[in-house]
Amino acid sequence: MQCMTTSIANVCLTLITGPSGVGKGTLVKKLLEKHPQIWLSVSATTRLPREGEIDGKDYFFLKPDRFNQLLLDGGFLESAQFAGNSYGTPRKPVETQLKKGIPVLLEIELEGARQVRKNFPKAFQIFVAPPSFNELERRIRGRATDDEKAIQSRLSRAKQELLAQNEFDAVVINDDLNSALVELEQLMTLKNV
Ligand code: ADP
Ligand code: 5GP
Protein backbone atom coordinates (compact mmCIF):
# COMPACT_ATOMS: atom_id res chain seq x y z
CA MET A 1 0.00 0.00 0.00
CA GLN A 2 1.77 3.12 -1.22
CA CYS A 3 0.91 6.43 0.41
CA MET A 4 3.34 8.93 -1.02
CA THR A 5 1.00 11.75 -1.89
CA THR A 6 -0.27 14.34 0.54
CA SER A 7 -3.62 14.70 -1.18
CA ILE A 8 -6.49 13.91 1.14
CA ALA A 9 -8.55 12.18 -1.51
CA ASN A 10 -6.01 9.55 -2.47
CA VAL A 11 -6.09 5.79 -2.56
CA CYS A 12 -4.66 5.59 0.93
CA LEU A 13 -8.13 5.82 2.33
CA THR A 14 -9.64 2.34 2.50
CA LEU A 15 -13.01 1.53 3.92
CA ILE A 16 -14.36 -1.79 4.96
CA THR A 17 -18.07 -2.29 5.28
CA GLY A 18 -20.47 -5.22 5.49
CA PRO A 19 -23.29 -6.40 7.73
CA SER A 20 -22.94 -6.48 11.49
CA GLY A 21 -21.57 -9.86 12.61
CA VAL A 22 -19.88 -10.71 9.32
CA GLY A 23 -16.46 -10.49 10.97
CA LYS A 24 -15.20 -7.03 9.97
CA GLY A 25 -13.80 -6.30 13.41
CA THR A 26 -12.10 -9.70 13.60
CA LEU A 27 -10.55 -9.28 10.15
CA VAL A 28 -9.43 -5.71 10.79
CA LYS A 29 -7.80 -6.69 14.08
CA LYS A 30 -5.77 -9.40 12.34
CA LEU A 31 -4.89 -7.07 9.49
CA LEU A 32 -3.55 -4.44 11.91
CA GLU A 33 -1.55 -6.99 13.87
CA LYS A 34 0.27 -7.90 10.66
CA HIS A 35 0.43 -4.40 9.19
CA PRO A 36 0.86 -1.90 12.01
CA GLN A 37 1.65 0.88 9.52
CA ILE A 38 -2.09 1.15 8.85
CA TRP A 39 -3.96 3.63 11.01
CA LEU A 40 -7.45 2.59 12.02
CA SER A 41 -9.91 5.37 12.70
CA VAL A 42 -11.60 5.15 16.11
CA SER A 43 -15.27 5.97 15.65
CA ALA A 44 -17.60 7.76 18.00
CA THR A 45 -20.86 6.13 19.03
CA THR A 46 -23.78 6.67 21.35
CA ARG A 47 -24.04 2.90 21.90
CA LEU A 48 -23.09 1.66 25.37
CA PRO A 49 -19.75 -0.14 25.67
CA ARG A 50 -19.81 -3.92 25.42
CA GLU A 51 -17.93 -5.90 28.03
CA GLY A 52 -14.21 -5.39 27.50
CA GLU A 53 -14.56 -2.40 25.18
CA ILE A 54 -12.34 0.54 26.08
CA ASP A 55 -13.28 4.19 25.59
CA GLY A 56 -10.87 5.83 23.15
CA LYS A 57 -9.61 2.49 21.82
CA ASP A 58 -12.65 0.60 20.55
CA TYR A 59 -14.86 3.66 20.27
CA PHE A 60 -15.29 7.09 21.74
CA PHE A 61 -18.45 6.41 23.72
CA LEU A 62 -20.42 9.66 23.73
CA LYS A 63 -23.70 10.78 25.23
CA PRO A 64 -26.23 11.65 22.47
CA ASP A 65 -26.04 15.39 23.26
CA ARG A 66 -22.28 15.43 22.79
CA PHE A 67 -22.51 13.39 19.59
CA ASN A 68 -25.15 15.71 18.15
CA GLN A 69 -23.12 18.80 19.03
CA LEU A 70 -20.07 17.36 17.26
CA LEU A 71 -22.24 16.53 14.28
CA LEU A 72 -23.55 20.11 14.12
CA ASP A 73 -20.00 21.44 14.40
CA GLY A 74 -18.97 19.43 11.32
CA GLY A 75 -16.75 17.18 13.41
CA PHE A 76 -17.60 14.00 11.52
CA LEU A 77 -16.34 12.86 8.14
CA GLU A 78 -19.46 10.72 7.90
CA SER A 79 -22.11 9.54 10.32
CA ALA A 80 -25.11 7.24 10.42
CA GLN A 81 -27.81 5.78 12.59
CA PHE A 82 -27.52 2.06 13.16
CA ALA A 83 -29.74 -0.19 15.28
CA GLY A 84 -30.94 2.74 17.39
CA ASN A 85 -27.58 4.43 17.91
CA SER A 86 -25.44 7.05 16.19
CA TYR A 87 -21.99 6.31 14.79
CA GLY A 88 -19.49 8.67 13.20
CA THR A 89 -15.90 9.01 12.03
CA PRO A 90 -14.12 11.93 13.73
CA ARG A 91 -12.90 14.14 10.89
CA LYS A 92 -9.72 15.74 12.21
CA PRO A 93 -7.62 12.64 13.04
CA VAL A 94 -8.35 11.10 9.63
CA GLU A 95 -7.34 14.27 7.79
CA THR A 96 -4.18 14.54 9.88
CA GLN A 97 -3.10 10.98 9.06
CA LEU A 98 -3.86 11.36 5.36
CA LYS A 99 -1.88 14.60 5.19
CA LYS A 100 1.07 12.71 6.64
CA GLY A 101 0.67 10.06 3.93
CA ILE A 102 -0.29 7.37 6.43
CA PRO A 103 -2.72 4.72 5.14
CA VAL A 104 -6.07 5.09 6.84
CA LEU A 105 -8.66 2.39 7.35
CA LEU A 106 -12.32 2.99 8.21
CA GLU A 107 -14.62 0.21 9.38
CA ILE A 108 -18.13 1.57 8.98
CA GLU A 109 -21.66 0.63 7.91
CA LEU A 110 -23.26 1.17 4.51
CA GLU A 111 -24.76 4.66 4.87
CA GLY A 112 -21.46 6.05 6.11
CA ALA A 113 -19.60 4.23 3.33
CA ARG A 114 -21.82 5.96 0.79
CA GLN A 115 -21.03 9.37 2.30
CA VAL A 116 -17.30 8.64 2.18
CA ARG A 117 -17.62 7.53 -1.46
CA LYS A 118 -19.25 10.84 -2.32
CA ASN A 119 -16.61 12.94 -0.57
CA PHE A 120 -13.58 10.76 -1.34
CA PRO A 121 -14.27 9.16 -4.71
CA LYS A 122 -10.81 7.61 -4.78
CA ALA A 123 -11.24 5.79 -1.49
CA PHE A 124 -10.90 2.05 -1.94
CA GLN A 125 -14.12 0.42 -0.79
CA ILE A 126 -14.34 -3.19 0.28
CA PHE A 127 -17.51 -5.04 1.19
CA VAL A 128 -17.20 -8.06 3.48
CA ALA A 129 -19.99 -10.59 2.88
CA PRO A 130 -20.93 -13.73 4.83
CA PRO A 131 -20.94 -17.17 3.17
CA SER A 132 -24.72 -17.31 3.87
CA PHE A 133 -27.38 -15.43 5.79
CA ASN A 134 -27.75 -18.33 8.24
CA GLU A 135 -24.06 -18.18 9.04
CA LEU A 136 -24.34 -14.41 9.58
CA GLU A 137 -27.17 -14.98 12.08
CA ARG A 138 -25.14 -17.71 13.78
CA ARG A 139 -22.19 -15.33 14.17
CA ILE A 140 -24.28 -12.45 15.51
CA ARG A 141 -25.91 -14.76 18.05
CA GLY A 142 -22.62 -16.50 18.83
CA ARG A 143 -20.97 -13.19 19.65
CA ALA A 144 -23.54 -12.90 22.48
CA THR A 145 -23.18 -9.13 22.80
CA ASP A 146 -26.65 -7.99 21.75
CA ASP A 147 -30.14 -8.48 23.13
CA GLU A 148 -32.87 -10.00 20.93
CA LYS A 149 -34.19 -6.59 19.84
CA ALA A 150 -30.74 -5.47 18.73
CA ILE A 151 -30.14 -8.81 16.98
CA GLN A 152 -33.40 -8.46 15.00
CA SER A 153 -32.55 -4.88 14.11
CA ARG A 154 -29.06 -5.89 12.93
CA LEU A 155 -30.43 -8.83 10.91
CA SER A 156 -33.02 -6.71 9.14
CA ARG A 157 -30.38 -4.08 8.37
CA ALA A 158 -28.06 -6.83 7.12
CA LYS A 159 -30.64 -7.87 4.50
CA GLN A 160 -30.59 -4.34 3.06
CA GLU A 161 -26.83 -4.03 3.28
CA LEU A 162 -26.22 -7.30 1.43
CA LEU A 163 -28.19 -5.95 -1.53
CA ALA A 164 -25.66 -3.11 -1.88
CA GLN A 165 -22.50 -5.16 -2.26
CA ASN A 166 -22.27 -4.50 -6.01
CA GLU A 167 -21.63 -0.81 -5.29
CA PHE A 168 -18.19 -1.67 -3.94
CA ASP A 169 -14.77 -1.96 -5.54
CA ALA A 170 -14.35 -5.48 -4.17
CA VAL A 171 -16.29 -8.09 -2.20
CA VAL A 172 -14.51 -10.42 0.22
CA ILE A 173 -16.49 -13.42 1.42
CA ASN A 174 -15.50 -14.11 5.00
CA ASP A 175 -15.93 -17.87 5.07
CA ASP A 176 -12.52 -19.12 6.20
CA LEU A 177 -11.00 -16.28 8.23
CA ASN A 178 -7.41 -16.75 7.08
CA SER A 179 -8.36 -16.94 3.40
CA ALA A 180 -10.41 -13.76 3.79
CA LEU A 181 -7.45 -12.06 5.45
CA VAL A 182 -5.10 -13.01 2.61
CA GLU A 183 -7.64 -11.75 0.09
CA LEU A 184 -7.89 -8.47 1.94
CA GLU A 185 -4.11 -8.12 2.01
CA GLN A 186 -3.94 -8.76 -1.72
CA LEU A 187 -6.64 -6.24 -2.47
CA MET A 188 -4.88 -3.63 -0.37
CA THR A 189 -1.55 -4.59 -1.97
CA LEU A 190 -0.03 -5.35 1.41
CA LYS A 191 2.94 -7.66 1.48
CA ASN A 192 2.18 -10.91 3.27
CA VAL A 193 4.93 -10.87 5.89
P1 ADP B 1 -18.47 -7.38 12.87
O2 ADP B 1 -17.30 -6.55 13.31
O3 ADP B 1 -18.62 -7.44 11.39
O4 ADP B 1 -19.76 -6.98 13.54
P5 ADP B 1 -17.17 -9.49 14.43
O6 ADP B 1 -15.77 -9.32 14.02
O7 ADP B 1 -17.59 -9.01 15.79
O8 ADP B 1 -18.18 -8.88 13.33
O9 ADP B 1 -17.51 -11.05 14.30
C10 ADP B 1 -18.78 -11.60 14.70
C11 ADP B 1 -18.55 -13.00 15.23
O12 ADP B 1 -18.18 -13.86 14.15
C13 ADP B 1 -17.43 -13.09 16.27
O14 ADP B 1 -17.84 -13.97 17.30
C15 ADP B 1 -16.25 -13.65 15.48
O16 ADP B 1 -15.38 -14.39 16.29
C17 ADP B 1 -16.95 -14.53 14.45
N18 ADP B 1 -16.22 -14.69 13.17
C19 ADP B 1 -15.57 -13.74 12.47
N20 ADP B 1 -15.04 -14.24 11.34
C21 ADP B 1 -15.38 -15.56 11.31
C22 ADP B 1 -15.15 -16.63 10.38
N23 ADP B 1 -14.46 -16.45 9.24
N24 ADP B 1 -15.64 -17.85 10.68
C25 ADP B 1 -16.37 -18.03 11.82
N26 ADP B 1 -16.62 -17.08 12.74
C27 ADP B 1 -16.14 -15.83 12.48
P1 5GP C 1 -21.20 -2.23 16.51
O2 5GP C 1 -22.29 -1.65 17.35
O3 5GP C 1 -21.45 -3.69 16.21
O4 5GP C 1 -19.82 -1.96 17.04
O5 5GP C 1 -21.25 -1.48 15.11
C6 5GP C 1 -22.45 -1.46 14.36
C7 5GP C 1 -22.17 -1.03 12.93
O8 5GP C 1 -21.69 0.31 12.93
C9 5GP C 1 -21.07 -1.87 12.26
O10 5GP C 1 -21.52 -2.19 10.96
C11 5GP C 1 -19.89 -0.94 12.22
O12 5GP C 1 -19.06 -1.18 11.09
C13 5GP C 1 -20.58 0.39 12.08
N14 5GP C 1 -19.74 1.52 12.48
C15 5GP C 1 -18.77 1.58 13.41
N16 5GP C 1 -18.23 2.80 13.45
C17 5GP C 1 -18.86 3.54 12.51
C18 5GP C 1 -18.72 4.89 12.04
O19 5GP C 1 -17.90 5.68 12.48
N20 5GP C 1 -19.55 5.27 11.05
C21 5GP C 1 -20.48 4.44 10.50
N22 5GP C 1 -21.22 4.92 9.53
N23 5GP C 1 -20.61 3.18 10.91
C24 5GP C 1 -19.83 2.73 11.90
What pLDDT score does 5 carry?
40
What pLDDT score does 8 carry?
41
**Which atom of ligand 1 is nearest to 175's Cα?**
23
What pLDDT score does 191 carry?
52
Structural contact between residues 170 and 180, judged by C-beta atoms closer than 8 angstroms: no
What pLDDT score does 6 carry?
37
Residue 155 main-chain phi, psi, to 5 deg: -70, -40
CATH assignment of 13-190? 3.40.50.300
Q: Which of 134, 108, 138 is nearest to 123 (CA)?
A: 108
> Which letter does DSSP use for residue 50 in this model?
P
Report domain extents, the chain: 13-190
Q: Which of 19, 27, 16, 18 is nearest to 125 (CA)?
A: 16
**Distances in Å between the alpha carbon of 172 and those of 17, 92, 109, 166?**
10, 29, 15, 12
Enter the pTM of the model: 0.93
Say how far apart CA 109 and CA 157 lie, in whole Å.
Answer: 10
Name 60's Cβ contacts closer than 8 Å, sequence gap at least 6.
42, 43, 44, 45, 90
What pLDDT score does 146 carry?
84
- In which residue ranges of the chain is pLDDT below 70? 1-11, 191-193
| Ligand 1 contact via 177 beta carbon (within 6 Å) | yes
Could you give the dihedral angle defined by the CA atoms of residues 191, 27, 113 and 149, in that order, rounded to the nearest 10 degrees? 180
| Ligand 1 contact via 23 beta carbon (within 6 Å) | yes
Structural contact between residues 30 and 177, judged by C-beta atoms closer than 8 angstroms: yes
Say how far apart CA 108 and CA 6 lie, in whole Å.
Answer: 24
**Which atom of ligand 1 is nearest to 19's Cα?**
3
| Ligand 2 contact via 112 beta carbon (within 6 Å) | yes
Ligand nearest to the CA of 50: 2
pLDDT tens profile 22-55: 999 999 999 999 999 999 999 999 999 999 999 9
Say how far apart CA 186 and CA 183 lie, in whole Å.
Answer: 5
How many Å lie between the centroid of ligand 2 and the Cα of residue 155? 14
**Which atom of ligand 1 is nearest to 18's Cα?**
3
What pLDDT score does 193 carry?
37
Longest dimension (CA), the chain: 46
